[in-house]
Structure 1
Amino acid sequence: MRTKRTFLLLMALILVLPSFLVQSTSAESSNREEVPQQPGEFSSKDEVVYATLSPTGDQQEIYVVNIFDVVKAGKVDDYGPYTSLKNLTDLSEIVQKDEKVQFTAPKGKFYYQGNMKNEPLPWDISISYKLNGKRVTPDELLGQNGHVELSIATSANEEIDPTFFENYLLQVAITLDPEKFENIGAPDAMVANAGKNKQITFTVMPEKEGDLSVEADVKDFELAGMEISAVPSSMSIDAPDIGEMTGEMESLSDAIGDIHNGVGQLKQGISQLNQGVAALRDGSAQYQNGMSEINKASSELVAASGQINDGIATINNGLHDNMNQLDLGDFEDLPISLEDLAEGLNATLDGLALLRENYSSAFNNLDAAIKAIPDYEISQAQIEELSKNLSEEDRAVLGQLMETYANAAKAKETYNSVKASFAAVDARLKELDGAIAETEETLTSISNAIASFEDIDVVESISQLQSGMSEFADNYGQFHSGLVSYTNGVGQLSSSYNELHSGIEELSGGTSELENGASQLHNGTFTLYDATSNIPVEMQEEIDKLISEYDKSDFEAVSFVSPENDKINSVQFVIKTESIQKDEQDKDEAPKEEKKGFWARLKDLFF
């Protein structure tokens, strides 16, 4: 029963198939006859350029598939230096004369292929190989084991319109079999799984030369053909939202501005400190000079006082030793001696007055200079906050500033602790001045009394003189001893103050350096503020520059084949290298089935 049905079906196919083939051919001929022979129109044309390269990048074959969007059926003209043509749409003839191509196309999509010879691509592509660090050819590398390095270099072909190099993005895809390749390294590439294989994809931006590399450990080296595609980078790049980032940068810039203002105030304070210390130095210098003059005058004062003391002692001794042998004629000379003593004391008073005046002036200058040092209190937390955004050099300057600040504060504190002792010197000089004045008045009174000798009882007066002179001699001896002690103290004070003045001079030098350092720090913070204040604007400008460099949204496609072609919608390049693989005869071949004819295959459908 089954045999009968099969036979009937075969007979039906035999009868129907020729009729079907005839009808199909007639329908196609009918459609072609409907295409008018008048000029047609197309709205756009696409070109897809296919090329094959050798494993080292040498160009071998190239052809173009032209795709027309025909909006009006009829004859269409195209141009290209083709060596042969192939209609991919129907069986109609395509006519070529020189570089002009003419065909009759129905409405809709129309495809034809144009083969070219020795037409260069817009890119020069070079591929090289290394095995274990040694340059090798693809044939030498085939089937080898070791560490392989593959390098691909792309650059502009100067013989071709630069439009493609400047506006097209290259993608290079390399497929590696993980069973053969291990420890794959591909800088700047995207590595993805493609089935059981690893696909390495590189991207070369427009106007950029490519320097691509892949390395791996290989076993029995074989490599499938690399695929290189080139498409126009016509995408529009939207500017990123950097509002938050620029806001943070503005906050940073404002903070640096606050630091700059703070450093400016610090600089002003340090300048005032330096001026105060300079005034202290000048006042200290005057005080030092005054103390030096006082010290020099002290020796003369002590010597004069010693002579007075000796003279008083001589008079006193003479009155006691020669009382019985007293010659009133000699007594007449006593007022003169006493007047000489009084004059000496008077000169001493002048010296003490000058001494007191110099000391008072020096002390006042020193006191004013110390008071001029500002009483700023700078905490360690303020210093640490200030130093956060400073360079190492600026931090060193800030350290010097703080060291000088500490020394100035210490000098002021030391002075305040000894100020009472300095002030007491003036009072002591005043008391000494009063004592000498009183002594001078006493001597003058005695001299005047002796001068009026005729009006008094000589013996009684001499006795009173002897008693008063003795008491005066004792008092003056004590005064002289005190004067010697005082001048010794002045000498020690002058010597000690020389060291203090040296310290004040060093302090002045330090505050001067401090002021210079503060000026440098202020200039540095200004430079930093000036550099950061424009960062948000510069960031936006740099982003706009990068976007304009890679944004090719305004690119208008041109024909790769001929400049006479118009209405170009897109041109794409599909490039593939030859595989590096073993010949078929070197592989284990599976047994091939015998090729069957049409009737045998038709029979297999039913039996």
Structure 2
Amino acid sequence: MSIKRFSLLLIVSVLVFSPINVTAASSTAAKDEVIYSTLQPNGEELDMYVVNSFEVEEPGEYVDYGDYTNVKNLTDLTEITKESDEMSFTVSEESFYYQGDLEGKPLPWEFDISYQLDGEEMNPEEMLGQDGHLQIEMETSANENVNQIFFENYLLQISLTLDGERYQEISAEEGTIANAGKNKQVTFTVMPEQEGNFLVEADVTDFELEGIEISAIPSSMSMDSPEIDEMTEDFETLSDATSEIDNGVGDLADGISELNSGVSSLEDGSGDYRDGIAKVSKGSTDLINGSESIDQALITMKNSMDQEVETGDFSAMQDGLMQIATGLKEASTGLTTLQENYSQAYQALDKSINAIPTNVSEEEIKKLDLSEADQKVVDKLVETYEAARTAKGTYEQVSEAFAAVEPTLNEVSSSQTDMANLLETMAEQIAAASEGMDIQESLKELQDGLATLSDNYKDFHAGLEEYTNGVDELSNTYQDLHNGIVELDDGTNSLENGVNELHDGTTELADSTSDLPEQMQDEVDKMINEYDKSDFDAESFVSDKNENVQSVQFVIKTEGITKGEQEDEKEEPEEEKNFWDRLLDLFR
């Protein structure tokens, strides 16, 4: 008998006939579960098994639970006793591993994977060896029939390895693409409590695809708050800037309000001036008619002077002179009234024009342009402001002409009063001379005076006609100016309303950004808390009877779509060896 054969028989005898010391079952072993699952290329589940690992404090007999169809010891040669969903085994080392096969147990996630080649959806097996533009779409969602603790706390990582010689122009909008030797690896991540929808596109030659790998692990890492001090300082600067903009717009709103008040006063004064100049224009016709009557009367007196001298009857002349004097005084009174009305209208207009504020600086306008205010309102504001400045500037240019009207009216009125007084004096002198009958020389002077007066009055009448024509033209054209002032007033009203709305908006913006740094920190903390699963306690995927579970992980992979795998499927599977075969293999 050989030494090798003798040793083998000795070991067998020891194993068969040696007594076994059994320790009471313990439940203190810390357990980890790794679930391995294979999917079809379209995402449907094929099979599943679990590798259970234990870290024990002392050797002995332990119990684990799971609805397994088959179990296998991966640590040593001891048998695992299976009774219903209870597994009993003896652990002699600090670590122990065994595999349990599961049948019909769904994963916590559902996977839907579809394939298109040149825009046509196809079964992946039909695409083997073909060329074209490939699209692979993957959707992940929660399986409502499985404990939601895994969907709510686990992070999914999906990886595709693409042969660099087969795949070109690879794109994955929501994934990352990395080099893996001569291949490209596309990776997607699905956060806890989220569903995923991903698309990979590429140009493929001789289509084959390795299995898509999916790992699921608890997102239990603790997330530290990022350093955002520099960013919050920037937001503080933004907050201060919006506050300054709000203050500037507030000052602008006050200025626009003053402008609007000034333009409203301008409109009132302009209306008074328009009415006054209209009255002056309407009185011009009467004034010209009266002046023409005086001119005709002087001509008549001059022509009839000889006849009156022959008859010695000067009463008609006296009456004519008195009538002319009375007409001149009435005309002078009308001009005085006209001057007073014009003075009131002109003062109102001048006060209103000067009340228009023009103290908005270019710097303030630039700040307003750079603000987040409605650009249409800003443009209208600047346009109205420029129109107000233009109106005021135009008025300043023509103000001398407006100011010259009142002195002219005073001068004309005074001249008419002087002529009236002169004619009255002449009438009185004729009466006195006719009583003393010493009148011939005086009549000669009177004839010369009447001739001079008649000639000079023609010049006065021509000037009066020119003046009244100017007043009529001013009255007609001023209506257009007044209409423009009314439009300006409407514009400043709208402008004030718009700026007030703008101020309300900048105030709201300033209020909402005043605590922006604190809001940002709160949002960061909220996002961190949302994905911080550091307080997650693992639960068994296999059975809720299992306790002291330290971790549960999932390793999921789809079947590869390759020609080689199809050939391998035809090979006969290797027959599983029993305990004695494996024992004998140790000595072969």
Distance 1:104 1:489 in 2: 125
Which position in structure 2 is the counterpart of 1:431?
411
Counterpart of 1:403 in structure 2 is: 383
Instruction: Verify: 1:540 aligned to 2:521, yes or no.
Output: yes
Match in the other structure for 1:591: none
TM-superposed CA distance for 1:413, in Å, is 2.3
Q: Could you tell me which residue of structure 1 aligns to residue 420 of structure 2?
A: 440
Residue of 564, 578, 581 corresponding to 2:545: 564
The structure-2 alpha-carbon separation of the partners of 1:368 and 1:112, relative to structure 1 and needing over 3 Å to count, comes to: same
- Aligned CA distance change for structure 1 residues 172 and 437 (closer, same or farther; 3 Å): closer
**1:373-412 aligned within 5 A:** 373-376=356-359, 378-379=361-362, 383-390=365-372, 394-412=374-392
CA-atom RMSD, angstroms?
Answer: 3.4
CA distance in 1, matches of 2:454, 2:158: 121
Structure 1 387/60 Cα, relative in aligned 2: closer, same or farther at 3 Å?
same
Q: Which amino acid aligns with 1:556?
A: D
Any gaps of 5 or more consecutive residues in structure 1?
1-10, 588-600
Find the counterpart in structure 2 of residue 497 from structure 1: 478
Q: Which residue of 1 aligns with 2:503?
A: 522
For residues 503 and 18 of structure 1, do their structure 2 counterparts lie closer, same or farther at Cα, with a shift above 3 Å needed? same
Aligned residue among 341, 349, 352 for 1:358 = 341
- Contact 2:333/2:413, CA 8 A, preserved across alignment: no
Moved more, 425-434 or 193-202: 193-202
Equivalence for 1:367: 350
- Once the two structures are superposed, residues 18-73 of structure 1 have per-residue CA deviations (whole angstroms, 9 ceiling, x without a partner) of 4488479859998x84x552343524211122223333333333222222222244
What's the secondary structure of 2:28's corresponding residue?
Answer: strand
Moved more, 508-517 or 366-375: 508-517
**TM-score of the aligned structures, taking structure 2 as reference length:** 0.86
Residue pair 1:237, 1:547 contacting (<8 A) in 2 also: yes
Match of 2:488 among 487, 507, 526: 507
| Paired residues of 2:133 and 2:202 also in contact (CA < 8 A) | yes
Report the counterpart of residue 419 of structure 1 in structure 2.
399
Identity among equivalent positions (%) equals 47
Which residue is equivalent to 1:246? 232
CA distance change for structure 1 residues 502 and 535 in 2, over 3 Å: closer, same or farther?
Answer: same
Residues 245 and 367 of structure 2 are in contact (CA less than 8 Å); yes or no, is this contact kept in structure 1?
A: no
State the shift of 1:359 in Å. Answer: 1.3
> What amino acid is the match of 2:343?
S
Cα displacement (A) at 1:558: 0.4
Matched letter for residue 480 of structure 1: H
Name the CA shift for 1:52/1:481 in 2 (closer, same or farther; >3 Å).
Answer: closer
**Are 2:187 and 1:167 equivalent residues in the alignment?**
no
Q: How does 1:181-580 map to 2 (within 5 A)?
A: 181-323=167-309, 325-327=310-312, 330-376=313-359, 378-379=361-362, 383-390=365-372, 394-452=374-432, 453-454=434-435, 457-530=438-511, 532-533=513-514, 535-580=516-561
Instruction: Look up the match of 1:137.
Output: 123
Q: Which moved more, 1:414-423 or 1:533-542?
A: 533-542
Match of 1:78 in 2: 64
> What pairs with 1:55-66 in structure 2 (closer than 5 Å)?
55-66=41-52
Q: Provide Cα deviations, 1:206-260, integer angstroms capped at 9, x if missing partner.
A: 2222333434444444433333222111111222222222322232232233223
Match of 1:254, SS state, is helix
1:173 partner letter: S
Larger radius of gyration: 1
- Cα separation, 1, equivalents of 2:544 and 2:176: 36
SS in 1 for 2:47: strand
Unmatched segments (≥5 aa) in structure 2: 569-584
Q: Report the equivalent of 2:580.
A: none
Per-residue deviation, 1:92: 3.3
Deviations 1:119-174 (A, max 9, x none): 22222233333344333334433344444433333322222111112111222333
Sort the Cα spacing of 1:455 and 1:405 in 2 relative to 1 into closer, same or farther, 3 A.
same
Structure-1-length-normalised TM-score: 0.83
Separation in 2, partners of 1:584, 1:497: 98
